[in-house]
Amino acid sequence: MGKIATREAYGNALAKLIVENENIVVLDADLTKSTKTNEAKKVCPQRHFNMGIAEGNMMSVAAGLAASNKIVYASSFAMFATGRAFEQVRNSICYPHLNVKICGTHAGITVGEDGASHQSVEDIAIMRAIPNMKVIVPCDGKETEEVIRAIAEIDGPCYVRLGRSAVEDVHHENYHFKLGKGEVLHEGSKVALIATGMMVQECLKAVEILNKEGIDPTVINMPSIKPIDEELIERVAKSHDVIITCEEHNMIGGLGSAVAEVVVKKCPVKMDMVAMKDTFGESGKPNELLHKYGLDSEAIVKKVRKNI
C-alpha cells in the first residue's frame, strides 16, 4: 500500500463503503478535501451533505439521520468535531445511542503549521469520557480501512481519530481489526510499549535502536481505546517490569490513563508515559514538533532507558 495518511485511507474506504451500503450518509463541514470525504461525494453525491462551517449543527443533524435508520459518517478536523460540537455529540448522539461515526482528521500536533488552535490533544480524553461512545485510533492505512468498515457493523456512536501526515505501513493486507482487541507487534521482555495511532511507527523505530543496545521491549498496537483490551493489558502487566504508553495526545485522559485504569485494578505495575506534557502545541513542521514535544522515536528510546 505504501506510506499514506490515515485520513486518506479513510476517504478511500468510505468511497467504497458508501457504494456498497445504501444506508450510509456522509456529512462534512467545509473541509471535504482535507477530511477526504470528497472521495465519497464523487461516487455518491446524493448521500453526501456539506453542512457548511457549522459543526454543532452538523452533529445534531447526524443524530436525526441516525434516528431515521441511517448510518452517518460525520467529519471535520478532530478539534472541531469533538471540541466545538462536544455537547451535541454527548446529548444528541451518545445519550440516545445513535449510529453516528465521528471521523475526526488532523488530530494531534502533526497537523503542523496551523498551530495549537487546530491541534487536538484532548479529543481522546473527552470522547472516552462519554458513556456509550467507542474510541478508535488506527495506526496506518490498512488498519484505517479495516476500522472504517468495522464501525458500519457496530451499533451506536464511534469516534475515529485520524491524522493529516502520511504514516508507515505497519500491517499486511490480511490484517483484521477487532473492536476491544490490542495487537502484539513484537514480543520482547521487561519493558512493554503500548502505543496508538502514529506513535506505533515511532515505537517500532525506537525498538530498532534499542535492540542494538540489547534492550528488547514488547510493542503493542492499541487501536481500540474504548473498549480497551483489559485481558492483554493484564497479561502484559504481569509479565513486564514497566509499561510505557505512547500517544500523540495530552498525558491526561488519553491512552495512558485508559491503560492505567486497567493496571491499577488488575495488576499494579510501574508505568510511564510518552505524551504531550499538559501543554498546547504550536506551528511548525510535524517532525520538528514531534521532536520538540518529546513524541518521536528518540524520546521513546530515552524513556525506555530511564525506566530500565
Give the active site residues: 55
Asked if 244 contacts 269 with a C-beta cutoff of 8 angstroms, the reply is no
Q: Which residue shows C-alpha cell 471521523?
A: 103
Q: What sections of the chain are H helices per DSSP?
A: 6-20, 32-35, 38-43, 55-66, 78, 86-88, 123-128, 141-153, 199-212, 230-239, 255-266, 286-292, 297-307
Residue 118 touches other proteins, criterion: CB under 8 A: yes
Among 282, 294, 298, 307, binds other proteins (CB under 8 A): 282
How many CB atoms are located within 10 Å of the residue 156 CB?
17
Asked if 253 contacts 275 with a C-beta cutoff of 8 angstroms, the reply is no
Asked if 221 contacts 187 with a C-beta cutoff of 8 angstroms, the reply is no
Minimum gap (Å) between residue 72 Cβ and ligand TPP = 19
Minimum gap (Å) between residue 38 Cβ and other proteins = 8
Residue 168 touches other proteins, criterion: CB under 8 A: no
Residue 53 touches ligand TPP, criterion: CB under 6 A: yes
Report which residue type is found at 120.
S
- Mark the segment that binds other proteins (CB under 8 A) among 16-24, 218-226, 265-273, 276-284: 276-284
Minimum gap (Å) between residue 302 Cβ and other proteins = 20
Minimum gap (Å) between residue 262 Cβ and ligand TPP = 35
Cβ-based nearer residue to ligand TPP, 70 or 84: 84
Residue 54 touches ligand TPP, criterion: CB under 6 A: no
Residue 86 touches ligand TPP, criterion: CB under 6 A: no
Residue 108 touches other proteins, criterion: CB under 8 A: no
Residue 51 touches other proteins, criterion: CB under 8 A: yes
Which contiguous run of DSSP H or E holds residue 105?
strand 100-105
Which are the contacts of 208, defined by CB distance < 8 A and separation ≥ 6?
none
How many CB atoms are located within 10 Å of the residue 265 CB?
11
Among 9, 24, 31, 100, binds other proteins (CB under 8 A): 31
Asked if 192 contacts 29 with a C-beta cutoff of 8 angstroms, the reply is no
Residue 84 touches ligand TPP, criterion: CB under 6 A: yes
Cβ-based nearer residue to ligand TPP, 76 or 224: 76
Q: How far, in Å, are 108, 198, 223, 288 from residue 248 at the CA level?
A: 6, 7, 13, 14
Q: Total binding residues for other proteins by CB under 8 A?
A: 31
Residue 113 touches other proteins, criterion: CB under 8 A: yes
Distance CA 189, CA 243 (A): 11
How many CB atoms are located within 10 Å of the residue 28 CB?
26
**Which of positions 17-36 make contact with ligand TPP (CB under 6 A)?**
30-31
Closest of 144, 195, 162 to residue 79, by C-alpha: 162
Residue 106 touches ligand TPP, criterion: CB under 6 A: no
Residue 112 touches other proteins, criterion: CB under 8 A: yes
Minimum gap (Å) between residue 51 Cβ and other proteins = 6
Cβ-based nearer residue to other proteins, 156 or 284: 284
Among 10, 49, 73, 80, binds ligand TPP (CB under 6 A): 80
In this structure, what C-alpha cell is assigned to residue 60? 445534531
How many CB atoms are located within 10 Å of the residue 43 CB?
13
Q: Which residues bind ligand TPP (CB under 6 A)?
A: 30-31, 53, 80, 84
Q: Which residues bind other proteins (CB under 8 A)?
A: 28, 30-34, 50-54, 56-57, 79-80, 83-84, 112-118, 282-285, 288-289, 292
